[in-house]
Amino acid sequence: MDELLVASEAPVTARRPWLQTWLDCNPDFEPLLVAVHHGDRLTAAALLASRRRAGWIEVVAAGDGPSDRTILPAVDGDATEQLAERIVETLVRFRRPWTLSLAQLPADDPVASALAHRLQTVVLQPGVSAPALLLGADRSLDTYTSRSYRQNVRTMRNRLDREGVAFALRSTREPAEVAALARETEPVRLARDRAEGRPSMLGRPRHRDFRRAILERLARDGAVELTELRLDDELAAYAVVLLDGRAHRLWDTAFAPGRERFGAGNLVVEATLRNALTDLHCDEFDFMRGMEDYKLRLATTVVESVSLQAWSSPRARALTHLATNWRSPAYYRWLARWAVGRFRKV
């Protein structure tokens, strides 16, 4: 499996250590490996996970949720078709309603296309795009940032100096420090999500446990860089960068509410970009999923993705939608129609 993933240039969020950590932190899911062999050689694979819900079986790609990029590796067209066929056969063998969700696949993923042709009730739609900055031989920050961007950063630094706010930027790859900082950043992430009025993944214990576990695991391999910005000795912003071969991937960054006027978020992102430029082996700074303005101002390209959702039947699609969105207006419209039909029969 590892050899196949390496040959397929799988990103860190699609490789075995990441997926195994996710499975460890989601014990209600059972691993479901669908594989294709040619002799003794593994030629295609899909590492999925399944769990029983009330009335149906839910199947997702292992790593579902925190994985910004997922792949279904296959060495050639024949392996692609065989993998899609075996995934469908695996779903049919459940002999009960099921759902399938494969998120953040490459936009031109051939396995997703082959699955869409084989499944009857399926939706293949764009996923969340990821801006990226491609780095060349010139390692000067001025080459990759606009004049207005640099002026804005200088303005923020001058404001800190003028108001007498002590600030310190620091990056670390030391495993113990990464583990400690990962926990210290959690309140900042939660506060930022709360201020934006959005649900926070760290509000769920399993997601919090996964974040801690994967950062500790990757830090032991020297594959995580955590940058912190402190204002008057308080953590004001942070950035978690995954060091993935020739790419630096900005997996998580946030700033504390109330620190906007000091440009805390911009300052910490600029520091991570400087670190990437210093690493001469790095030729890509991946902002990962999300089309926020600060990413687009720095990006030179956008990596598209696709998501596939499928159901065992149209009825299963309707029922699972109602079950997972029972407080939605659609649920109450359905309930009203059901009640009217029931009353007429009486």
Structural domain contains residue 147: yes
- What does the pLDDT look like over 208-246, one tens digit per residue? 999 999 999 999 999 999 999 999 999 999 999 999 999
Name which of 261, 193, 255, 250 is nearest 229 in CA terms: 255
| pLDDT (average), residues 173-198 | 96
| pLDDT (average), residues 70-82 | 96
Q: State the pTM of this model.
A: 0.90
**CATH code: domain of residue 198:** 3.40.630.30
184 and 257 both lie in a single domain: yes
- What does the pLDDT look like over 308-345, one tens digit per residue? 999 999 888 887 776 666 555 655 565 566 556 555 54
Domain boundary among 239, 256, 288: 288
- What does the pLDDT look like over 11-66, one tens digit per residue? 999 999 999 999 999 999 999 999 999 999 999 999 999 999 877 899 999 999 99
- What does the pLDDT look like over 252-268, one tens digit per residue? 999 999 888 899 999 99
φ and ψ of 241, to 5 deg: -115, 125
Domains in the chain: how many in total?
A: 2
172 and 41 both lie in a single domain: no
| pLDDT (average), residues 126-131 | 95
Domain extent at residue 148: 131-288
73 and 213 both lie in a single domain: no
147 and 123 both lie in a single domain: no
Pairing of strands 98-106, 305-311: antiparallel
**CATH code: domain of residue 30:** 3.40.630
140 and 270 both lie in a single domain: yes
| pLDDT (average), residues 283-289 | 97
Residue 207 has, within 13 A of its CA and on its CB side, a CA count of: 13
The reported pLDDT for the residue numbered 344 is 53
Structural domain contains residue 145: yes
Structural domain contains residue 335: no
Structural domain contains residue 233: yes
The reported pLDDT for the residue numbered 336 is 61
79 and 170 both lie in a single domain: no
Nearby residues of 200 by Cβ (< 8 Å), 6 or more positions away: 189, 190, 193, 194
Nearby residues of 205 by Cβ (< 8 Å), 6 or more positions away: none
pLDDT > 90 in the chain, percent: 85
CA 77, distance to chain mean position in Å, is: 27
